[in-house]
A and B are shown apart, each in its own frame.
Chain A
Amino acid sequence: MADEKNIGELKKEAAAKAKAAALAKLNREKEQKDKNTVQKSSTSGPVVKINANVRKSQEIKTKIDDVENKKDFAKEKATTTVKANPTVQQTKGSAKEYKDEEKEKAIALAKEKVAAAAKAKGTSSSVAGITNEISDKKIEVSSVNQPLLDLIKKEVGNNLGSNIIEELYINKLSKDIPTLIVNKNNFYKLAKVLKENKNLDFDYFNHLHGTDFQTHMEVYIQIRSYKNGYDLALKTKLNREYPEVDSLTSLWEGASWPESEAFDLLGIKFNGNPDLHRIFLGESWVGHPLRKDYQPYEEEVVSE
């Protein structure tokens, strides 16, 4: 027993030392760093691009309208998706010299898809007109999510007031996903609305992780609505010293383990998670490895 206690104390001592050293190091680094830090790049970077995105999406929108007039949207779909998806961009170039067959194939496929989509739409006719409009656009140009962003803004505004969202933008670098940033006190409230609102219906919890941005902690979640085909990223910033946020397990059971993972590796506390534990490293592990100032405690290596 006494030995165990000693080891425990030693561990703690070592951890405290490591932490102090790391903090000193961090401070030094901070002084040297110019303003191009991660924080700026991670938050304000994409925001700057919003206007450009909006413009672009409007351009594409008008393009679609034109096409719809021509009643030829199956064909257009084949080309717009190619245009919209950067990874398939090169197919556009080579398609010309490529066989005509293949083009026809793509068109036939697109036609099938449109038919299937129309069928699916028929089943969920209860959704308001605006939703239908969005799902139309989404099928035609999968990468333009501006209407979805507007819908979310509207629905959240109706339920919680328009001030609740701190920032919202489309993340161009992440396949055009609509992204919301919210204060941590409103994190749970907003998630609840996003899940329970009938027009949004984000019933699927896709992903959660935390990131240590040195000035603050960030929790990033991604949720999905299988019924409507929407995807959404939601972020919140936490105090780095005492990162705490409300747990989402009462909304989505699947959030429990990812929350435990973030707790284990970053020390983010999720209030209200009944099963929050150090899922990978075990309860005796000192420190949170994914923090940027983490100093590994190496028992084996003794330098004297």
Chain B
Amino acid sequence: MIRTEEMLLNVGPQHPSTHGVFRLVIKIDGEIITEAKPVIGYLHRGTEKLAENLQYTQIIPYTDRMDYVSAMTTNYVFCHAVETLAGIEVPERAEYIRVISMELSRIASHLVWFGTFLLDLGAVSPFLFAFREREMILNFLNELTGARLTFNYMRVGGVKWDVPEGWLEKVKDFIPYMREQLSGYHNLAIGNEIVQSRLKGIGKYTPKEAISYSLSGANLRCTGIHSDVRKIKPYSIYEHFNFKEAIRNEGDCWSRLECRIEEISESLNIIEQAIEQFPKTGEILGKVPKIIKAPPGETYVSIESPRGEISCYIASDGKKEPYRVKFRRPSFHNLQILPKLLIGQNISNLIVILGAIDIILGEVDG
């Protein structure tokens, strides 16, 4: 028997593989993790407190900074909550623009994840390819919104700018290109035996555990539970599109990878249909008063972000500022299962398991 010693190891908060400022204190016995304690809060900016002193439209830029890899979805969930509370109607054309931009965001977000996840595994080239494609999407969004990451694009009742001329055609041309690249990814990395053997059976949990830990998004769907909010509680115009929900049954890191890659191709399908159905004319902003006042009451709406179910709660007392704003941030909930997954694992699997959860620290810390 080899004598081993228990050691305390501090991962982060400044470590490239934690994808942000996230600290993990682990105890290892030899190479086996015996205890893990996540420490978060380094990026807590008090968005919910700040929002209490701002008017509804002024809060939108703050939502950009929560999930900064897919700001469109966070933008949308807040606007959607205000619209639900105040009963504001959104023109169809605006909804189409929103869906196209959200799905583009989702692809960009999954590409970031795909690239960095494989980079964590030690595969450098997929990162370069994934970021090449992501750059094209960011250019589209830049052209649409004037920003690459923090868009501040959606407004209560619609969107800020109309689509530029020729933009839809460019996005349409991108779809077949991206499909081709996806099969390239498969040849390059996903079909690679080393990648597969590195991921299969790692970080496994059962559907029961996944539900008990409030997981959402690909983390929940990888255990076979139908939980895509776009399907189970359709919002916006998602009912107009024919797309599949990415479901796997294994519950390990590999199935999460497969789920996200499938979501990219499903998002492409949605964008394709949206461009086909896109209304030629119409308003991009509904009839919204200059100063938005929501009626007294409370609302809670959920949508599907790339990381899972993101929700927004607003309590209003009838003033132009909300009384209380609260976001259900999927990364925060998804991260909770990490200590459980790490115990008993070899330390070399730590980064894989953490990476497969797909956290954005801006969202974890709020």
Query: B317 to A38, Cβ gap below 8 A?
Result: yes
Known contacts A86-B87, A142-B233, A206-B214, A211 near B324 by CB under 8 Å: yes
Give Cα distance in the complex from A212 to B326, angstroms: 12
Flag whether A87 is at the interface (Cβ < 8 A). Answer: yes
Query: B89 to A86, Cβ gap below 8 A?
Result: yes
Query: B212 to A253, Cβ gap below 8 A?
Result: yes
Flag whether B16 is at the interface (Cβ < 8 A). Answer: no
Query: B324 to A280, Cβ gap below 8 A?
Result: no
Flag whether B92 is at the interface (Cβ < 8 A). Answer: yes
Chain B interfacial residues counted at CB < 8 A: 61
Residues 156-214 of A contacting B (Cβ, < 8 Å)? 171, 173-175, 177, 203-207, 209, 211-212
Query: A87 to B80, Cβ gap below 8 A?
Result: yes
Query: B366 to A233, Cβ gap below 8 A?
Result: no
Please report the number of residue pairs spanning A and B whose Cβ atoms sit closer than 8 angstroms: 156
Query: A207 to B300, Cβ gap below 8 A?
Result: yes
Query: A41 to B317, Cβ gap below 8 A?
Result: yes
Query: B297 to A290, Cβ gap below 8 A?
Result: no
Instruction: Select from chain B the residue with minimum beta-carbon distance to A46.
Output: B297
Instruction: Select from chain A the residue with minimum beta-carbon distance to B296.
Output: A41
Query: B89 to A90, Cβ gap below 8 A?
Result: yes
Neighbouring A residues of B336 by C-beta, 8 Å = 253-254, 256-257
Query: B236 to A87, Cβ gap below 8 A?
Result: yes
Flag whether B148 is at the interface (Cβ < 8 A). Answer: no
Flag whether B240 is at the interface (Cβ < 8 A). Answer: yes
Query: B212 to A254, Cβ gap below 8 A?
Result: yes
Flag whether A252 is at the interface (Cβ < 8 A). Answer: yes
Give Cα distance in the complex from A252 to B211, angstroms: 9
Instruction: Select from chain B the residue with minimum beta-carbon distance to A294.
Output: B49
Flag whether A60 is at the interface (Cβ < 8 A). Answer: no
B-contacting 9-mer, from A102-110, A121-129, A236-244: A102-110
Chain A interfacial residues counted at CB < 8 A: 57
Flag whether A226 is at the interface (Cβ < 8 A). Answer: yes
Known contacts A36-B318, A226-B227, A289-B46, A90 near B298 by CB under 8 Å: no
Query: A253 to B300, Cβ gap below 8 A?
Result: no
Query: A211 to B84, Cβ gap below 8 A?
Result: no
Give Cα distance in the complex from A220 to B316, angstroms: 15
Give Cα distance in the complex from A266 to B48, angstroms: 12
Neighbouring B residues of A36 by C-beta, 8 Å = 318
Query: B41 to A282, Cβ gap below 8 A?
Result: yes
Most chain A CB within 10 A, of B40, B240, B324, is at B324
Neighbouring A residues of B242 by C-beta, 8 Å = 105, 109
Neighbouring B residues of A254 by C-beta, 8 Å = 212-215, 333, 336
Neighbouring A residues of B299 by C-beta, 8 Å = 171, 173-175
Most chain B CB within 10 A, of A173, A177, A256, A290, is at A173
Chain B 36-48 interface mask (CB, 8 Å, partner A; 1/0):
0000110010101
Give Cα distance in the complex from A37 to B318, angstroms: 10
Minimum CB–CB distance from A286 to chain B (whole Å) comes to 15
Query: A91 to B237, Cβ gap below 8 A?
Result: yes
Give Cα distance in the complex from A253 to B213, angstroms: 5
Known contacts A86-B87, A94-B92, A207-B313, A173 near B41 by CB under 8 Å: no
Query: A281 to B41, Cβ gap below 8 A?
Result: yes
Q: Which of B212, B298, B318, B323 contacts A252 (CB 8 A)?
A: B212
Query: B315 to A42, Cβ gap below 8 A?
Result: yes
Residues 203-256 of B contacting A (Cβ, < 8 Å)? 211-215, 225-227, 232-237, 239-240, 242
Neighbouring B residues of A258 by C-beta, 8 Å = 332-333
Neighbouring A residues of B318 by C-beta, 8 Å = 36, 41
Flag whether A271 is at the interface (Cβ < 8 A). Answer: no
Minimum CB–CB distance from A224 to chain B (whole Å) comes to 9
Give Cα distance in the complex from A91 to B96, angstroms: 12
Give Cα distance in the complex from A89 to B315, angstroms: 24
Give Cα distance in the complex from A203 to B88, angstroms: 33
Query: A280 to B227, Cβ gap below 8 A?
Result: no
Q: Which of B90, B240, B309 contacts A87 (CB 8 A)?
A: B90
Neighbouring A residues of B192 by C-beta, 8 Å = none
Neighbouring A residues of B84 by C-beta, 8 Å = 86-87, 173-175
Neighbouring B residues of A204 by C-beta, 8 Å = 211, 214
Flag whether B311 is at the interface (Cβ < 8 A). Answer: yes
Instruction: Select from chain B the residue with minimum beta-carbon distance to A285.
Output: B41
Give Cα distance in the complex from A142 to B233, angstroms: 8
Neighbouring A residues of B83 by C-beta, 8 Å = 86-87
Neighbouring B residues of A272 by C-beta, 8 Å = none
Flag whether B21 is at the interface (Cβ < 8 A). Answer: no
Most chain B CB within 10 A, of A203, A204, A265, is at A204
Q: Which of B41, B92, B365 contacts A91 (CB 8 A)?
A: B92
Interface residues of B (CB under 8 A from A): 40-41, 44, 46, 48-49, 80, 83-85, 87, 89-92, 95, 211-215, 225-227, 232-237, 239-240, 242, 277, 279, 282, 295-302, 309, 311, 313, 315-318, 323-324, 326, 328, 332-333, 335-336, 365-366
| Shortest beta-carbon contacts, A-B, top 8 | A254-B214, A41-B296, A280-B41, A280-B44, A38-B317, A174-B299, A173-B297, A209-B326
Interface residues of A (CB under 8 A from B): 36-38, 40-42, 45-46, 81, 85-91, 94, 102, 105-106, 109, 142, 171, 173-175, 177, 203-207, 209, 211-212, 220, 222, 226, 229, 231, 233, 252-258, 261, 265, 279-282, 289-290, 294
* CB-defined A-B contacts under 8 Å, sample of 11: A46-B298, A91-B92, A102-B277, A173-B295, A173-B299, A175-B84, A203-B212, A206-B214, A209-B313, A257-B332, A257-B336
Q: A41-B316, A109-B239, A279-B40 are in contact. List 13 more A-B contacts (CB 8 A).
A: A42-B317, A87-B83, A87-B89, A94-B279, A105-B240, A171-B299, A173-B84, A173-B85, A175-B301, A207-B313, A220-B298, A220-B313, A256-B336
